[in-house]
Amino acid sequence: MTIVKLGYVAMSMNVQNSSPSQTMTVAQFQRIQDREAAIHKLERIALSNLDNCLRLLKYNKFNDIEFFRFSSRLIPLANHEEVGDWNYILPLKEKLKEIRRFLDKNPSRVDFHPDHFVVLNSTDPNVLKRSLHTLQMHQRLLKGMGIPPQHRCVLHVGGGYGDKEKALEQFIHNFGFVPTRIQEMIMLENDDTVFNVKETLYLCEKLSIPLVFDLHHHMANHETEDWQEDWERIVNTWSNSSLPIKMHISSPRNEKEFRAHADYIDVEMFMGFLSAIKNSVPEIHCMIEAKGKDNALLKLMEDLKAYPEIKMINNGSFSIQ
């Protein structure tokens, strides 16, 4: 038997006016002549984003959803040089503590997936510096919310730069310059265009980083179609983590737009995956990356009820025999 917990990404289709990604552009910031007033506006937006995160966590609790990805855009302009002197954590401390208190009473797995501009294998020192600065922001948010930082940020390997083997070695080289507190946050995901499962596994095994297997990405980008031959290696990358293994699930929008995410999850595709991995791990957490967000999760749970080997635990979790 394997227990499966489903999660969704950042936004709810059912909780109104709950965006955790409200923002302000640099141009809007610069148009406010009073700098102190501009900073206060940034703080109000960040507080509103965090308040919406708390609303979403409460909604998740009501619906038995115990896995959730926070938006990486909680603090607008946090990494921009225009506000490099802004200590953004200070005005957010109480709201972060409020989230911490909720999670203490209602345990849930939460994490981040920083945007694509976070690239650790770049040869450009400025790109690496900005990437580390962004990851430091995530580390400070996790600390403020009382969330153990280990394995909470999913990253892609980065660019191929015309020589994937050299790009992989560049990642290893750069990783030596990453502070330990940042290193321990990182998980790596196989991507849909450049680094496939086998290439990502090379880094994960070399650097003791968990691999987040993305089935859709594998379907779009692979050396061999059969991902099962690497499953044991994928599971073993999680041997030093306190968290259950994690994977991403999404379905192609259509044949023409194969890499784009559909609104919902193809239950037959998902069942094919589950049937292959059942009993190989005691528990797995599956992050749904679908346009339908929480509706995709709820629909998938309904669709799964048609399969006799599925036993429902609650509205967001089940087991497969």
- In DSSP notation, 94-140 reads HHHHHHHHHHHHS--EEEB---TT--SS-S-HHHHHHHHHHHHHHHH
DSSP label at 89? T
Q: What is the mean pLDDT of the chain?
A: 97
Looking at residue 81, its pLDDT comes to: 87
Residues 210, 176: contact at Cβ < 8 Å?
no
Supply 7's token pair: 């999660």
Phi, psi of 288 (to 5 degrees): -80, 120
Tally of structural domains, the chain: 1
- Over residues 2-19, the mean pLDDT reads 97
Residues 178, 164: contact at Cβ < 8 Å?
no
Looking at residue 80, its pLDDT comes to: 87
Residue predicted with more confidence, 181 or 81: 181
- Over residues 181-186, the mean pLDDT reads 98
The residue type of 182 is: I
- Over residues 255-274, the mean pLDDT reads 97
The percentage of residues in the chain with a pLDDT greater than 90, rounded to a whole number, is 97
Q: What's the rounded Cα separation, in Å, for the pair 175 and 164?
A: 16
Q: How confident is the model at residue 2 (pLDDT cuts 50, 70, 90)?
A: very high
Residues 320, 39: contact at Cβ < 8 Å?
no
CATH of the domain at 189: 3.20.20.150
Q: Which domain does 116 fall in, by range?
A: 2-320
Supply 103's token pair: 């999670």
Residue predicted with more confidence, 228 or 84: 228
Supply 299's token pair: 């629909």
- Calculate Rg over the CA atoms of the chain: 20
- Give residue-wise pLDDT tens across range 283-319: 999 999 999 999 999 999 999 999 999 999 999 999 9
Residue 85 has pLDDT above 90, yes or no: no
The percentage of residues in the chain with a pLDDT greater than 70, rounded to a whole number, is 100
Supply 86's token pair: 């802004």
Give me the numbers of helices (H) and strands (E) for the chain, helices first please: 11, 10
- Over residues 109-123, the mean pLDDT reads 96
Residue 73 has pLDDT above 90, yes or no: yes
Residues 37, 287: contact at Cβ < 8 Å?
no
